[in-house]
Structure 1
Amino acid sequence: MRILLVNPPNCGRSMPEELYGITSLKQIFRGEPLALETLAGNLIQHDVEILDLKVNPDGLHSRLTSFAPDLVGFTAMTCEANTVIKLAGEVRQNSAAKIVVGGIHASTDPEFFNCEVIDWVVIGLGKQSFPELVEAIERDQNTEIPGIARSTKAKKPLSWQPRKYNQSDLVNNAAPRYDLVENYRSHYTLQTLGLKMGLVSSALGCPYDCNFCCIYPLTGGRYLTADIETVIRDILTLEQTPVIRLVDANSFGNPSHAWKLAEAIEKAGIHKQYLADVRSDMVVRQPQLLKRWKEIGLRAVVIGFEEIDDNALSQMNKENSAATNREAIAILHQLGLTIVGDFIISPDYTEQQFDQLHDFVCEQAIDLPMHTILTPLPGTKLHHQVQSQIKIHDLDYYTLTNAVMPTRLNEKLFYQRYASLLHTGHSNAKV
């Protein structure tokens, strides 16, 4: 079977730009489509191509003509969901291919894709369920596959059997098809750090159920670690890439696994730099683990501090404290690791709170602060809690840089303060 996997183009819209001419807040996503590379790796008996529309935004029609796929699979974040529906319509008009959609929005709000132009929706982790779906399509079998919903074309609600995730769902026997995006690789850079990097997954899922986050539901709260040999294989596959970004939501969530991986990297003689997502409470509990990773090349850590006071953290169900965040920052500075700190700006912020966050970032010497706006993504607990307050329902604006709920401040002033916060953080960034 000929299978075309499609990464949608940059398509999120920016309210501050459209309404107030503030262009510095528009979010641009350009990262290696690791999820699609991983799916391709598990389809070794098929002819698979990846089309990255973030690099080549006008390439769909020509690829449909030249490749003539039997199946087209889309991935989509929430801000890309509307565009994927439009692209699926283009596929339907110009191809006889079956159309499948997966990714984070399909997992948290699958009913959104229950429409005429979609044939199947992959819900949750698709490493195992998508190849099972491909096999069923090829054999023309009407088999019920856990984690897969057949579109009813909006005639009735979707029905599917949830998948119970375990290690077998990681399907570690084949490496991601990094080669399928070789023509795009020069575009895959972390612009804020000026680094060319490759992406590797060492774990999937997260056991922490923060109310704003859509990672927990992806695997039903399970935290699954890849085999050590699998991670080493994938790092070695990216032999020409000097920096590896571990894309796990919680890279060292299993400290024992993280220790073993560090030892295996050293034993394999791998000399690269690493960026990893970690929790501040893990840093406090496991400073020696961070020290060990620094010895084998860990360059920077990304930490979701989110907020700077306990009340706000509690409202997010963060299961962490401001004191722990401060202690973790001190440890990371002592170790000489770059801190990429994620902070979430509530639409309810006052000017005083903007000032306090600015002062905190400066006082704590956060090397690269990353600020987003609290956004109730469909399917999250936050969305359920504040649904009546949402004023913007167009998913094109769900880029995490638009206030889709009313702001306490005058909206233009809110965006001006937000833009100033971003500018100050990035202009003072140290990497």
Structure 2
Amino acid sequence: MRSGNPSNDVGLLKGAEMKVLLITPPGNPDVIGGDDVFIYEPLGLEYLAGAVRDQHDVRIQDFRMDRETQLEDLLEEYKPDVVGLTADSPDVPTVYDFSQRIKAKNDKTHVVVGGHHAKFRPFDFYRPDTIDSVVIGEGVFSFRELIQHIEKDKPLDDIAGIAYPGGDGQVLTASRPQPRLDDYPGPARDLVQAHRSEYHDKLMKPIASVRSTVGCPYRCNFCSLWPFTDGRYLTREIEKVVEEIAALNEPNIFFTDDEALIDRKRMTLLVEKIEEAGLNDRNYFMYIRSDSIMRNQDLVERWADAGLALALVGFESFMEGDLSDYNKSNTVKNNWGAIRLLQRLGVKIAAQIVIRPDYTHEDFARVKQFVEEAELATPTFTILTPLPGTPLFDKLDRENILTSRNWGHYDLMHAVVPTKLPIEEFYEEFFKLPHEKYLQSLFAAEQEKPEAEKIAQARKFFSVIRAHRKKRKELEQQGRTVDLLFPEENQPMGPEAVNSQVEEA
């Protein structure tokens, strides 16, 4: 049992070089698709490694790629003093498991957890026996200070932006202001050199990730990206971004920006510098809103000439009511216009379409019709999921409507709120949608699994169905319906509001 004292118990010589192991967990088996569809390099861990490798020995272990190495063998061979685990919501059960196994191997090892889920629900990692600290939000500088404190055996209470077990429960330190991205050390990409040729998106391989900006000024109520930076829009210097691209060997570059075309001036300068540097021989992939495309048609055309090959566009829906409910601040007209423009320019469209749990048979038929008329080659359908940190999650959590707290089900492919259709009919309609061929092959592969695996998967599926039936019955007894899904306190963000925040940033 770890003591309530927030000082470190690793027992190192003060000032000694430490061994720091950073882990990306393997995919949660409850997740549908997941690592089979895309695996990007662990850019967040690369930044953490870059921040501490000048003083310590650092290793990154990507268990998504290396499925042969066993955790215990790695711990025995490397003998880390600190282990960092990153977690999106579906990774939480794996983090629990890994942290227990790490402590079983050596209870003096300091275990720290970070990532998206830790930002919004640090209390989910209040496990004093197995987790020593939690880094909250953009964690590069918090992590660097944490390592310094562990090295010197100092209390953790003066590190902003972390949580740790205290005598009376979890202690949350003062929040840390959002950082200047240009102050970050460069990512330690060489630590995953063995896997660089294998990182991929479903349409691009190999692919490298570059972070030009973080955050988004829009306020879609189902999205957890803008809350991660507390609504701020953070940018890097264009010259540093171009230098980073020039140093990469991969032919495909994924801009991890939450929305690429927020700032027209900035993206115009970036494409100019890319052209000047002769980097228009790469294939670029970015997230873009359809209204951003329509406001910047000439700029999109220039990017297409400079190598924009793939655009992930969150159309979400082709029904105005849905877009309004999602607080999308966008229109169906923009969706259609963006599709036709990208198709004319030869830019592949990774079309994101959200399926609401309260869809009827008629709604599913409309979705199929829209996809057919739009001639979308690679549509991706996801089930509307109230992710932690979003206004949608907060509302449904308060109203006790969620059907599951198994975080492995928060993968955008499981319904975690009651469906209007009987749950079996909802899933039947969902899997009949024209999913792109890659996902269809995954669904077909499920049928080729050994009988024991299929039975185990069926049991998990039936548990989801039972949870839905129970919640529907509970709501019916209370005289409630599944129609009231969306927060009323929407915050519309039009182009003017977006532009003002860009100028402020």
Indicate yes or no: 2:154 matched with 1:141: yes
SS in 2 for 1:212: coil
Residue identity in the other structure for 1:27: G
Greater shift in the superposed pair: 2-11 or 365-374: 365-374
Distance of aligned partners of 1:422 and 1:163 in 2 relative to their CA distance in 1, 3 Å threshold: farther
Q: Who wins on radius of gyration, i.e. which is larger?
A: 2
TM superposition shift of 1:12: 4.3
Shift of 1:265: 1.3
- Separation (CA, whole Å) in 2 of partners of 1:187 and 1:362: 33
Deviation at 1:305, TM superposition (A): 1.0
> What CA distance in whole angstroms lies between the structure 2 residues aligned with 1:150 and 1:428?
43
Taking structure 2 as the reference length, the TM-score comes to 0.78
**Is 1:178 matched up with 2:189?**
yes
Alpha carbons 1:78, 1:104 under 8 Å: kept:
yes
The answer to whether the aligner puts 1:357 opposite 2:367 as a matched pair is: yes
Q: Where do residues 123-134 of structure 1 align in structure 2 (5 Å cutoff)?
A: 123-134=136-147
Partner of 1:17: none
Q: What displacement does 1:386 show?
A: 1.5
1:32-431 correspondence runs (5 A): 32-45=41-54, 46-57=56-67, 58-95=69-106, 96-116=108-128, 117-142=130-155, 143-152=157-166, 155-167=168-180, 169-172=181-184, 174-190=185-201, 192-193=202-203, 195-239=205-249, 241-270=250-279, 271-387=281-397, 388-423=400-435
Task: Decide whether aligned partners of structure 1 residues 102 and 422 sit closer, same or farther in structure 2, where only a CA change above 3 A counts.
Answer: farther
Query: Does the 8 Å contact 1:150/1:158 carry over to 2?
Result: yes
SS at match of 1:118: coil
User: Displacement of 1:424 after TM fit?
Assistant: 5.6
Partner Cα separation in structure 1 for residue 271 and residue 80 of structure 2: 41
Q: 5+ residue gaps in structure 2?
A: 1-17, 442-505
Runs of 5+ unmatched residues, structure 1: 15-24
Cα drift, residue 84 of structure 1: 0.3
**Contact 1:12/1:80 (<8 A) preserved:** no
Which moved further from structure 2: 228-237 or 285-294? Answer: 228-237
The more displaced of 117-126 and 361-370 is 361-370
CA distance in 2, matches of 1:152, 1:420: 51
The offset of 1:316, in angstroms, is: 1.3
- Letter paired with 2:203: L
The alpha-carbon deviation at position 360 of structure 1 amounts to 0.9
The Cα of 1:282 is off from its aligned counterpart by: 0.9
1:104–1:165 distance in 2 versus 1, CA, 3 Å: same
In 1: Cα distance, 2:171 partner to 2:356 partner: 34
Residues 226-266 of structure 1: CA deviation (Å, up to 9, x unaligned): 12222123222322x11011111112222222111111111
- The CA distance in 1 between the partners of 2:219 and 2:170, in whole Å, is 26
Shift of 1:99: 0.9
Matches within 5 A, 1:8-27: 8-13=25-30, 25-27=32-34
1:283 and 1:194, CA in 2 relative to 1: closer, same or farther beyond 3 A? closer
The root-mean-square deviation of aligned C-alpha atoms, in Å, is 2.0
Aligned partner letter, 2:113: V
Write out per-residue CA displacement over residues 159-197 of structure 1, whole angstroms, 9 at most, x where no aligned residue. 222222142x5534x32111111112233122x325321
**Cα-to-partner distance string for 1:266-304 (whole Å, 9 max, x where unaligned):** 122222110000111111111111112112111011111
**1:318 Cα deviation from its structure 2 partner:** 1.3
> Structure 1's 422 and 148: CA in aligned 2 closer, same or farther, altered over 3 A?
farther
TM-score (norm 1): 0.91
| Structure-2 separation of matches of 1:370 and 1:322 | 17
Would the alpha carbon gap of residues 193 and 26 (structure 1) be closer, same or farther in structure 2, given more than 3 Å must change? closer
* Count of aligned pairs: 414
Deviates more, 1:54-63 or 1:177-186: 54-63
For 1:39 and 1:226, locate their aligned partners in 2 and report how far apart those are by CA, in whole Å.
17
Cα distance, 1:361 vs structure 2: 1.4
Q: Percent identity, aligned pairs only?
A: 36
Residues 309 and 183 of structure 1: CA distance in aligned 2, closer, same or farther (over 3 Å): same
CA deviation string 1:82-122 (max 9, x = no partner): 11011011111112221111100001111101112111111
- Corresponding residue SS for 2:311: strand
